[in-house]
Structure 1
């Protein structure tokens, strides 16, 4: 395969599948924690927990830190739920140790592991419990909870959890919404009873709490992120207090925005995907993290992220999901780019038939590579953003059997359209070389196909000659 330029979304290698990202700064490095999906996975979170890290000064260069906690490390005496470990969070306790909070699928129990390092290995520590030693979730009268979020605020520790999805009552526990409890300094024992912050209301027309709580404190403001019941993406609330007074402020970030109608996701005019993310202050900037779905599946999700703009009143502007990601600036190199960094894949008649990101193995090298499959009539591939004022030409690496018109839309200070006659008739990768000029700087790029058949794209190369 062609050597490619890539420091973009997704932020990790294309063969890594970490959803539900919780990103934290410890010292001078940024650590990424999350669930761990598998390519061609058959259920959520099939693999062991791993972590990646990056310097606070370079968010485009991530280092694999290895497995930090295995499913076989969960030594709880309470045998409840499945074997998969759902979305975790990590916090550094007052004692300087690091605490990993997680839940075994469908158990309604929050478990904790402990380590002296943010990269583990973590060892099983116990379950969140009350002062008598009773484990929350052991009784079916206890609230249903998963997706823990943890905040160490000085010498106080707060644990957020819960669900607003009534379907989770199939597990036998009442679904009451998002709640918080304060913990003792042992990071395990509840100091207070759970306090409901957002009542469960599974109204798909409103941005109520669905699941996936995440908590941060910046300056004197507390921020709660969550996935909304209207399936529009990640929303956030703000308060001056960690355990009360939160007010909804709006949509923060979405990787599956609806472009097929008036923007109401309840009309199901786009492929509905779950969301779970976080935000973090890194250096002098703020960033938001989420996951995208690949392989036309809910079980092969990848971490993405973009820069946030914070206003003087503490609120954030809604971030745009881009291809450029944590770079925070447009691509400005004439190079070969992976097609799989597309930030939007559409099929205008039927979202379920949209092209999709997947991976294959190179027959010659045995290494995996990414691609976009099954581009059919009325498909669109979106890329944001580029700063290439002298752009002259593009090469596309494609395969398949298709014939029609490919429209390249370059949308910047003005909108330009370049139309190509496209003919692909090969099961092996072939290269199409076409002129492509623009006066836009910077610009987004949309590849739109109308015609017969189906084809795949592995990469595109941009030239200034």
Structure 2
């Protein structure tokens, strides 16, 4: 499950991983991060007992690691709702051999069944996906909360805590963002989330995932630029289509529909698996290298893209198919004015719909919505 990697005191790369149905942590080593890795050993106590097999240990899950000097800090944990045998995420300190525990596991973030440990976590208790980062002398413990769709963080002056809950960094359905909607309204089907923060150049980003094929088990990697306040706290970011682009997308040319950050239907619920909600899928089996598209676009649903730098766009060319009896519409906000529309045709072949739509110049979203009967699929669009 969810391996993590660190550079040891010897300069080699150490990969920590947990195999399905096993409570222990395995370690592999390589001279380069790209492999090939060789088995190095199991994380164990000084007496040789493997972590996860000692009485009182909780099963290992989702390792996260950071190395400072001769010490490596290993974070583990999974806390499902209702499971009183799991109490939270623990950190163990490892010796320079990268496998021997020199400081026993210590609880750093409580799960939903252990609310007495640190009440400031109670609204966003630990669920899974621990990850650790350091910035400006502060340690950031990033994790997926019991709500599952969000990545949260806690801060400390020490890698072993105590950690103070900081807030939500990102939600893969944009819950908590209220700048363009009610904060309790999802704009995409939410589901579990996993990721962390990383510095690229002079900027910091949160990497996370969202879901495709209307299931918890098909995922699409995403990234958003984040910002820090003077005290080191992180502001929650809205989900966008920009990724690592560094700013708004160019408002000309073709874009695939699968970069939509909003895939929604009016009055939809929070979590994935709703039969009436659009979702990203592809022809063929999952994993096939075929172009993805948005499926099941019906009345009062649509897809949204944030953000574009528009300049002189007069037409949006939409590539769609399906058995619809309605109109494809172009907007610059979810409930905004319809700037142009085109009637769809019954067909199982991709068709091109040229929609006259004078989009105001400047930075704004783009929404492709649908009104009418039946359902359609949207593959891509072109800004002309």
Please report the TM-score for the alignment, with normalisation by the length of structure 1. Answer: 0.74
The structural deviation recorded for 1:257 is 2.5
Task: Give the one of 138, 161, 169 matched to 1:244.
Answer: 161
What is residue 289 of structure 1 aligned with on the other side? 207
1:100 aligns with 2:15: yes
CA distance in 2, matches of 1:295, 1:328: 28
Q: Contact 1:371/1:456 (CA < 8 Å) preserved in 2? A: yes
Instruction: Determine which of 129, 143, 151 is the counterpart of 1:212.
Output: 129
Match of 2:69 in 1: 154
Aligned to 2:235: 317
**1:56-455 equivalences in 2 (<5 Å):** 86-139=1-54, 141-166=56-81, 174-202=85-113, 206-258=123-175, 263-264=183-184, 271-351=189-269, 352=274, 353-360=276-283, 368-411=290-333, 416-455=337-376
User: After the TM superposition, which of the residue ranges 91-100 and 329-338 deviates more from structure 2?
Assistant: 329-338
Identify unmatched segments of 5+ residues in structure 2.
116-120
| RMSD after superposition | 2.6
**Mapped contact 2:112–2:122 kept (Cα < 8 A):** no
Task: Answer whether contact 2:187 2:263 (CA < 8 A) is retained.
Answer: no
Superposition deviation, residue 295 in structure 1: 0.9
Q: Do 1:349 and 1:378's aligned partners in 2 also have CA atoms closer than 8 Å? A: no
Structure 2 CA distance for aligned equivalents of residues 190 and 166 of structure 1: 29
Q: What is the CA deviation profile of residues 210-231 of structure 1, one whole-angstrom value per residue up to 9, with x for unaligned ones?
A: 1110100112010000111133
Q: Distance in 1 between matches of 2:346 and 2:93?
A: 63
1-structure distance, mates of 2:74, 2:90: 8
Q: How many residues align?
A: 368
SS of aligned partner of 2:338: strand
Q: Aligned partners of 1:124 and 1:405: how far apart in 2? A: 58
Unaligned 5+ residue runs, structure 1?
A: 1-85
Contact 1:215 1:224 in 2 (8 A): yes
Return the alpha-carbon distance in structure 2 between the equivalents of residues 193 and 139 of structure 1.
11
* CA gap 1:232/1:295 in 2 versus in 1, 3 angstroms: closer
Shift of the alpha carbon at 1:401? 1.0
Residue in structure 1 matched with residue 118 of structure 2 by the alignment: none
Shift in Å, 1:237: 0.8
The answer on whether the counterparts of 2:140 and 2:154 sit within 8 Å (CA) in structure 1 is yes
Please say if residues 206 and 230 of structure 1, whose CA atoms lie closer than 8 Å, have aligned partners that are also in contact: no
3-state SS of the aligned residue for 1:387? strand
Measured after TM superposition, the shift of residue 164 of structure 1 is: 2.4
* SS of structure 2 residue aligned to 1:326: coil
Shift of 1:161: 0.8
Report the secondary structure of 1:400's partner residue: strand
How far apart are 1:286 and its partner, in Å? 0.5
Q: C-alpha displacement at 1:455, in angstroms? A: 0.8
Shift of 1:361: 5.4
Q: Which has the higher contact order (CA 8 A, sep 6+)?
A: 1
Contact persistence 1:306–1:328 (CA under 8 A): no
- Asked if the contact 1:164–1:211 (Cα under 8 Å) also holds between the matched residues in 2, the reply is yes
- Residues in 1 aligned to 2:328 and 2:293: alpha-carbon distance in whole angstroms: 18
Residues 299 and 155 of structure 1, relative CA distance in 2, 3 Å threshold: same
CA distance in 2, matches of 1:458, 1:228: 33
How far apart are residue 340 of structure 1 and its match? 0.7
Distance 2:289 2:4 in 1: 32
